[in-house]
Amino acid sequence: MPSTTEPKLIAGNSNLPLAEAISRRMSMHRGVNVNLLNARVERFNDGEIFVEVFENVRGEDMFLIQSTSNPANDNLMELLIIADAMKRSSARRTTAVIPYFGYARQDRRTKARTPISAKLVANMIMGAGIERVLTMDLHAAQIQGFFDIPVDNLYASPIFALDIEAQFKGQMDDLMIVSPDVGGVARARELAKRINAPLSIVDKRREKPGEVAEMTVIGDVTGKTCIIVDDICDTAGTLCKAAEVLLEAGAAEVHSYISHGVLSGPAVERVTNSVMKSLVITDSIAPTQPVLAAPNIRILPTAPLFARAILNIWDGTSVSSLFDTESLAPAYEGVL
């Protein structure tokens, strides 16, 4: 049942610009102000996180917006502590809106005596009183099964499809979607189907983590405008190397569309100096100043997507309708 009042939003410190943009979009949809809850989230001198909410939330449908990006542990603790504050303040339901779900890459045991940290994080989130999770492009879809509560996993591919159609108008027949590894083929194929483009794969072999020993292009990319699609770009080493290999294989130019721009360490410098024409990321992670200043990095907004999804959850309508490019297009009219 929907709340008797408007949905209530509260945000941690991980990505306040996105939370504020979601608030503005929801206000536009509702025709009334849907503001972020008046609260303070701060730290004591020893680093402990303290939360105080200045508005009544008893019986309210709360949406807690917080990416668990760098610093992942601090942002995760903020999420858990705010959730506990909502539970102890008698909120009717708290939905965690996690645009970027940290620890998602630790979704299985890759070798002996290693943890499955994504499952541990799921247990902590449920233990804090979260009753529903809304996220985007989980690194591994099976993480939804780590939760015993509903999990709505949105996709960036409809946004990417809309942007590609706008940016490459008149060149659609020359496009080739590329998966940077075999594990990402399903994600790349999904976008390829949306824009009716062929699919290629860059097969990589690693000698040890973080180092790529060899790359091979599977498929004919000669004369094609290649678009690499992936969910996470961290240090950008693999991405930049894949772009070089594609050009060596005869591609005309290379662009990349990545859901979550982690972009740690030397990533921005690598992208800036790479042969890629452009790297397109979403704002699921708050961009740093170097990212904003990079000439070949562009950021797509996710606020229209999340605002619509939050409203659909609040009034009990379908979230999966947002998986379709055509259904999402009205929300992005005038944005892309």
Residue-level pLDDT at 211:
58
Residue-level pLDDT at 2:
44
Whether the Cβ atoms of residue 75 and residue 63 lie closer than 8 Å to each other: no
Strand locations in 138-235 (E)? 151-154, 175-179, 199-208, 211-218, 225-233
Whole-number Å distance between alpha carbons of 239 and 55 = 45
Mind listing the pLDDT tens digit of every residue in the chain (336 residues)? 444 578 999 999 999 999 999 999 999 998 889 999 999 999 999 999 999 999 999 999 999 999 999 999 999 999 999 999 999 999 999 999 999 999 999 999 988 999 999 999 999 999 999 999 999 999 999 999 999 999 999 999 999 999 999 999 999 999 999 999 888 999 999 999 999 999 999 987 766 655 556 888 999 999 999 999 999 999 999 899 999 999 999 999 999 999 999 999 999 999 999 999 999 999 999 999 999 999 999 999 999 999 999 999 999 999 998 998 888 999 898 888
Domain covering 8-156+303-332 in this structure, CATH number: 3.40.50.2020
**For the chain, which residues make up each domain, given as ranges?**
8-156+303-332, 157-300
Residue-level pLDDT at 215:
87
Residue-level pLDDT at 3:
46
Domain 8-156+303-332 identical in fold to domain 157-300? yes
Which pair of structure tokens corresponds to residue 150?
Answer: 């509903």
Residue-level pLDDT at 97:
98
Tell me the DSSP string of 86-100: HHHTT-SEEEEEESS
Token pair 């972009």: residue: 263
State yes or no: is 204 an active-site residue. yes
Residue-level pLDDT at 189:
96
Domain covering 157-300 in this structure, CATH number: 3.40.50.2020
| Three-class SS state of 122 | helix
Residue-level pLDDT at 207:
60
Residue-level pLDDT at 182:
85
- Selected catalytic residue, list 169, 204, 208, 241: 204
Strand locations in 209-311 (E)? 211-218, 225-233, 253-261, 278-282, 297-300
